[in-house]
């Protein structure tokens, strides 16, 4: 920092002018606190004069740790000190708003409601152009080629990363192998007659439940999920002599209360 000249000394001494500019911007003298100091700003050339910034504590509600910065200038051959700008700046201990997050990163599962539109971004890592991914849906490759040529094919499909994320998310949910229902099930979905495997590359890992009495009916479940409605689940009585073969009961010995 260069040694202040006589012009610089004039700017350093112009505390009252700087305070008046801060008060005018704040709109209330009570919002401008004590003078915190003044620093010389580089101008790049001596013929441009000198510039000094005065700082004042801020008493503006909601702006803890902020300060008013008033920049003054003095042009050679001029008598007056001019005000360049007045701004409110954060200090090291200032309370700042959180960094802005793009809308597509703020969304969480369940945020989408009726009528909302959620467009995917061009760089969504979960999607890739369909011509770069293996065909997971068409049993007839020749038919898929024809569909693409006439514009019936999908433009984008899920990428390997997208499929991996989906499998991990579903496996960690209520219909995955670590759920309480799965841990107490008599068997896994992969051995159940109501298991409807997904088509494509996820066939061996995911499917849908088709049992109307199961808690996962109509839901995507992992192959190692399970519930008490397994198609092979049977009830074997420990002692067949205790199995009632008739619905008739002798109530002669019962006490009526």
Q: What integer pLDDT is reported at residue 128 of this predicted model?
A: 79
Q: What integer pLDDT is reported at residue 153 of this predicted model?
A: 66
Q: Which of 42, 72, 73 is nearest to 56 (CA)?
A: 72
Report which of residues 70 and 120 the model is more confident about.
Answer: 70
Strand-pair partners of 158: 127
Share of the chain above pLDDT 70, in %: 75
pLDDT digits (tens, 9 = 90+) for 174-185: 999 999 999 988
Q: What integer pLDDT is reported at residue 244 of this predicted model?
A: 47
Checking if the pLDDT of 167 tops 80, the result is yes
Q: What integer pLDDT is reported at residue 125 of this predicted model?
A: 82
Domain boundaries, the chain: 6-90, 124-157, 161-222
Q: What integer pLDDT is reported at residue 246 of this predicted model?
A: 47
pLDDT digits (tens, 9 = 90+) for 12-46: 889 999 999 999 999 999 999 999 999 988 876 66
User: Mean pLDDT, to the nearest integer, of 216-238?
Assistant: 84
Strand-pair partners of 73: 51, 82
pLDDT digits (tens, 9 = 90+) for 72-99: 998 777 778 899 999 999 988 888 888 8
Q: What integer pLDDT is reported at residue 234 of this predicted model?
A: 67
- CA–CA separation, 27 and 18 (whole Å): 14
Q: What integer pLDDT is reported at residue 28 of this predicted model?
A: 93
Q: What integer pLDDT is reported at residue 245 of this predicted model?
A: 47
Q: What integer pLDDT is reported at residue 141 of this predicted model?
A: 58
Contact between 187 and 227 (Cβ < 8 Å)? no
pLDDT digits (tens, 9 = 90+) for 203-223: 899 999 999 989 999 999 999
DSSP string, the chain: -PPP-HHHHHHHH-HHHHHHHHHHHHSSGGGEEEEEEEEEE--SSGGG-EEEEEEEEE--TT-TTEEEEEEEEE-TT--S-EEEEEEEEE-TT---PPPP--HHHH--TT---TT---PPPTT-TTEEEGGGS--SS-S-HHHHHHHHHTT-S-SEEE-HHHHHHHHHHHHTSTTSTTSHHHHT-SS-GGG-TTEEEPSGGGTTTEEEE--TTSTTBTSEEETT---TT-TT-----S-GGGS---S----TTPPP-
- CA–CA separation, 57 and 125 (whole Å): 47
Return mean pLDDT, the chain: 80
Least confident window among 46-55, 102-111, 132-141, 193-202: 132-141
DSSP run (H or E) holding 66: strand 66-74
pTM over 0.75: no
Q: Which residue has 């803890």 as its token pair?
A: 64
User: Mean pLDDT, to the nearest integer, of 155-168?
Assistant: 87
Checking if the pLDDT of 243 tops 80, the result is no
CA angle 18, 20, 23 (to 5 degrees): 110
């Amino acid at each position: 920092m260069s040694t202040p000249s006589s012009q610089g000394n004039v700017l350093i001494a112009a505390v009252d002018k700087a305070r008046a500019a801060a008060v005018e911007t704040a709109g209330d003298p009570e919002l401008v606190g004590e003078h915190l100091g003044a620093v010389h700003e580089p101008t790049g050339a001596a013929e441009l004069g000198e510039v000094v910034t005065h700082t004042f504590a801020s008493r503006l509600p909601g702006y803890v740790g902020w300060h008013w910065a008033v920049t003054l200038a003095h042009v050679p051959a001029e008598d007056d000190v001019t005000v360049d700008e007045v701004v409110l700046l954060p200090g090291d201990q200032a309370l700042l708003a959180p960094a802005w997050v793009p809308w597509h990163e703020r969304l969480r599962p369940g945020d989408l409601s009726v009528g909302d539109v959620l467009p995917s971004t061009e760089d969504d890592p979960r999607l890739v152009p369909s011509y770069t991914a293996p065909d997971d849906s068409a049993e007839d490759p020749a038919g898929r080629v024809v569909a693409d040529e006439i514009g019936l094919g999908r433009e984008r499909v899920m990428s390997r990363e997208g499929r991996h994320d989906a499998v991990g998310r579903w496996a960690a949910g209520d219909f995955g192998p670590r759920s309480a229902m799965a841990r107490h099930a008599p068997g896994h979905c992969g051995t159940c007659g109501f298991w409807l495997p997904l088509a494509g590359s996820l066939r061996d890992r995911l499917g849908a439940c088709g049992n109307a009495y199961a808690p996962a009916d109509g839901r995507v479940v992992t192959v190692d999920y399970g519930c008490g409605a397994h198609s092979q689940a049977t009830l074997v009585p420990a002692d067949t002599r205790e199995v009632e073969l008739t619905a008739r009961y002798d109530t002669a010995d019962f006490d009526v209360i």
